[in-house]
Structure 1
Amino acid sequence: MTDEKKPAADLSFAGVCTDTRELVPGSLFIALRVPRFDGHDFLGKAILEGAAGLVVARGSNLELPEMTVFTGPVVLVEDTLQALQAIAAGYRLTLPGRVVAITGSVGKTSTRQMVAACLGGTMPVHLTSGNLNNEIGLPLTLLQAEPSHRAIILEMGMRAPGEIRLLSQLARPDAAMITNVGFSHIGRLGSREAILSAKTELIEGLRPGGLLILNADDPLLRNWGVHQPGSFRLAWVTADLDLARSMSTDAAFTVGATDVCATAGCVDFSVGIFQAGQACGQACVHLPFPGHHHVLNMLFGLACAWDMDIPPAIAAADAAAYEQTGNRQRLIEANGVLIMDDSYNASPESMQAALQTLAELAEGRRMIAALGGMLELGEFSAPAHRELGRQAAHLGFSALYLTGSHASDVAAGSRELKPDMTCMVFPDTMDLAKAISDEIRSGDCVLVKGSRGFTMEQVTAKILENLEKRRTTNHDI
């Protein structure tokens, strides 16, 4: 048994694990103790599954039957989460690959995937999977990286000040990017300025001479960025080509877009890269999926590629491999109905992007939205939901099926522009799901979206169940 305060011999393990369901024989098992579970309750199972070493909190009960046959090291620590983070931070310093960190109010995951697509055709890439972007997930992601990976792309999420600082100091990124500063978690932090302060903690772990890439189309980020002396290089991305050219005089480089054409099936645009006011790179980009908001995501990917000496034309061609992940604008065709399942989460910015994307897809067909609320907006909740209703009405939605404490605000906002808008409010998600699944007809385009707390994926499942039932019974829809 080893105490963390005493030196120990070098040890080698097949991996690091905190969940016995995913344990690979020969791994080091770290017994995390967090509000939802206590890994110390699974020490016996970890041993039976083949753990080669244990990290446990000092004072834990180790009088287990399995311990009598366990021959591996047991390391006693004050805090097992801090131990996990320390191991990951130490391992990161041994990795030769370039670490890229991504944060922002919205678009983190899409940008992460786009950066990976821009780099992945040229070099081995390791990236965050799922939602492993917090104080537990990021260390685990780092520990899964291999020395052969030339790029390690880490998504960083937050709900409170100080969290991005911790993640950045663990990851010590060579390049970092902030997608935007929106309203997500404003109910917790109080203002967008406070969110800006929390997001820009990202620079506190950025290596000297590292690259910070910012969205010049975000006024808060732009004002903050131009006043940063810093020990890092600064690059900008923008959907305004002229702005990219002008801002390049005081930046390492800038990447701008022009001639954007977004249709139901793709997004096409041209890209220019500038240094010291002069064009130094260009490419034509074709993204084989809809969504105007993907332009900025792609610009972040091209900026990262440019700094790693990948020509923009090559990175743009590789970006065609990008795929949407999870329930993020997932398109489903069933019995003549187009469903855009964007139920992963919701904020004012992502709601606007989803509404706009479905409008581009619909091409004149009837549009219906099943919307849960947007959580953690605090005093901004009512006006944000009213604006959501106005956006839906402006884009031509025919009906809104709503749930959540601010559903009436969404309805009121929509009727400011469209007094006869059909708005139906339901006490919970399942009541909404039953009602909308009965009303959908062939040719409809349906958006399903809401904050995670509303589990809006249930709506998509109910719609698909009802459409399949109609198909098998030859019911006319």
Structure 2
Amino acid sequence: MIPLPLARIAEITSGALSGSADPRAVVRGPVVIDSRAVEPGSLFVAIKGARADGHDFAAQAVKAGAVAVLGTRPTEAPTVIVPDVLGALADLATAVAGTLTGTTVIGVTGSAGKTTTKDLLAGLTGRVGPTVAPVGSQNNEIGHPLTVLKADADTRFLVLEFGARDAGHIADLTRIARPSIGMVLNVGTAHLGVFGGKEAIAKAKGELVESLPSDGVAILNADDPLVSEMATRTSARVTFFGRSPAAHVRAEDVRLDERGRAAFTLRTPSGSAPVSLLLYGEHAVSNALAAAAAAYELGLPVATIAAELSAAEPRSRWRMEVADRPDGVTVINDAYNANPDSMRAAFASLAVLGQGRRRFAVIAALRELGEESAALNHDLGRLAGSAGLDGLVVAGPDAEPVLSGAMEAGPPGARIVHVADAEAAAAELAGWLRPGDTVLVKGPRAMELQRAAELLLAGGARQ
């Protein structure tokens, strides 16, 4: 973070310093919302949530080294008191971003693959200069400004995720740190119930390209019509990625190894090079191409792009993590989140990884699908039932459509059970698995199915 005295922070946020706050005390970062993450020089942002009030941890934060607290009321610690903490956090990040004259801001959005693409791109830009990118999926009104505030005068690239829970959210985030390169990966069915349809999702995602300056670049998926049409919504230059022959940056001769990892020829206007991904699943090709297109626009040689993509390993947890137990059971932990599109991609990966082996899956009913929830969850059940599984565990509430779809599509007598939670799912599967089996674990974030994957792996370690 760029060092700022408390007096300047109060000015930026329209705040007032509590009596114990020294206006000359300097915050050097990081800015954090968790008192356990405080380091000497931090600013602790006190957010009042449903289960905890950050103001109650103010003294603890300052004891750990925080210079002050940003909050809505006085605390036991030096405090910058503001009317709205999230608004103040956005104002602070906007002010800091405005000083980053030597930093290229790159934005990534899409219904699926944002985090993987962001991680790949951060690896590529890191070869050129200091890069700041969010950890995991910090892409909302809290995580986004916190990431921006990590940047300083030495930051060459700021790679940001842009998430949306409603129309206007991405536009609001772009006003904090305006991207000069904006990437739209796809328009899928994530949050379908919130937006009401894929066209509305496309409108929201397109807010990113609408924010680009005329001398910027829009990186768009040539294989997704709802994304490629966004070329008409920006005055920036457009570069297409994908498998289409019309794409400027494309993949040719895509093939998968026995572990479901893709290899392909990366072709750009300046040449081509071979890529062999360490990431699992054919869907990773599109993410790699998007990152490659941005890197191409930044002037990286195609050989360098290919080498970085080929060396990249997963940086963010619970996204197609593949691990083998000592007894040969393979656990695919893709439990960070789920929607109909990512479910199809996950089962496609299971088909490759589980070829010639017994296959099992732990899934849960999808959420935020609105009026189409029952139908889409029934389709999920049919997808699972027709996937050649030797057993299916459906965890959590609202499972009836998934179960009925699975029983409808599965063979007679298929082993399909419903359990309450991740722990019960792991316990059920523990009695089914034999050495050499393959298990997919995937569901919505709220179900925390990563616990099932972790328990299954730990169980194998005790054998």
Normalising by structure 2, we get a TM-score of 0.88
Residues 94-129 of structure 1: CA deviation (Å, up to 9, x unaligned): 221211111111111111111122333333222110
Q: 2:46 is matched with which residue? A: 31
Aligned match of 2:438 in 442, 445, 448?
445
Q: 2:264 is matched with which residue? A: 269
Distance 2:401 2:48 in 1: 41
Name the CA shift for 1:268/1:428 in 2 (closer, same or farther; >3 Å).
same
Name the CA shift for 1:402/1:27 in 2 (closer, same or farther; >3 Å).
closer
Distance 1:435 1:39 in 2: 39
Q: 1:86 is matched with which residue? A: 91
Distance 1:289 1:76 in 2: 46
Is it true that 1:299 corresponds to 2:292 in the alignment?
A: no
Instruction: Say whether the 8 Å CA contact 1:352–1:391 is kept in structure 2.
Output: yes
Q: 1:390 is matched with which residue? A: 382
Offset, 1:308: 0.6
Offset, 1:433: 2.4
Residues 359-416 of structure 1: CA deviation (Å, up to 9, x unaligned): 1112311111111121111222223223323333554333222234554433443455
1:221 is paired with a residue whose SS is helix
Is it true that 1:209 corresponds to 2:215 in the alignment?
A: yes
Question: What percent of counterpart residues are identical?
Answer: 36
2:346 is paired with a residue whose SS is helix
Distance 2:97 2:91 in 1: 10
Distance 1:326 1:6 in 2: 37
Instruction: Say whether the 8 Å CA contact 2:338–2:366 is kept in structure 1.
Output: yes
Q: 2:238 is matched with which residue? A: 234
Structure 1 residue identity aligned to 2:321 = R
2:250 is paired with a residue whose SS is strand
Aligned match of 2:71 in 50, 56, 66?
56
Instruction: Say whether the 8 Å CA contact 1:103–1:178 is kept in structure 2.
Output: yes
Distance 2:74 2:402 in 1: 53
Structure 1 residue identity aligned to 2:395 = T
Instruction: Say whether the 8 Å CA contact 1:97–1:149 is kept in structure 2.
Output: yes
Is it true that 1:44 corresponds to 2:59 in the alignment?
A: yes
Q: Superposition pairs for residues 358-437 of structure 1, below 5 Å?
A: 358-405=350-397, 407-420=399-412, 422-429=414-421, 430-437=423-430
Q: 1:181 is matched with which residue? A: 187
Distance 1:447 1:19 in 2: 32
Is it true that 1:315 corresponds to 2:308 in the alignment?
A: no
Q: Superposition pairs for residues 117-128 of structure 1, below 5 Å?
A: 117-128=123-134
Structure 1 residue identity aligned to 2:352 = E
Bigger mean CA deviation after superposition, 43-52 or 324-333:
43-52
Is it true that 1:329 corresponds to 2:332 in the alignment?
A: no
Name the CA shift for 1:361/1:153 in 2 (closer, same or farther; >3 Å).
same
Q: Which has the larger radius of gyration?
A: 1
Q: Superposition pairs for residues 119-268 of structure 1, below 5 Å?
A: 119-222=125-228, 224-228=229-233, 230-240=234-244, 242-244=245-247, 254-265=248-259, 266-268=261-263
Unaligned runs of 5+ in 2: 1-5, 18-22
Distance 1:408 1:380 in 2: 14
Distance 2:329 2:419 in 1: 25
Bigger mean CA deviation after superposition, 313-322 or 115-124:
115-124
2:290 is paired with a residue whose SS is helix
Bigger mean CA deviation after superposition, 117-126 or 27-36:
27-36
Structure 2 residue identity aligned to 1:262 = L
Structure 1 residue identity aligned to 2:376 = A
Distance 1:367 1:6 in 2: 57
Residues 234-285 of structure 1: CA deviation (Å, up to 9, x unaligned): 1211122x232xxxxxxxxx211111001223311112224xxxxx332221
1:288 is paired with a residue whose SS is strand
Structure 2 residue identity aligned to 1:333 = D
Offset, 1:233: 1.6
Distance 1:220 1:178 in 2: 10
Unaligned runs of 5+ in 1: 245-253, 275-279, 472-477
Bigger mean CA deviation after superposition, 210-219 or 412-421:
412-421
Is it true that 1:104 corresponds to 2:110 in the alignment?
A: yes
Equivalent pairs, count: 443
Bigger mean CA deviation after superposition, 368-377 or 48-57:
48-57
CA RMSD of aligned residues (A): 2.5
Distance 1:358 1:438 in 2: 20
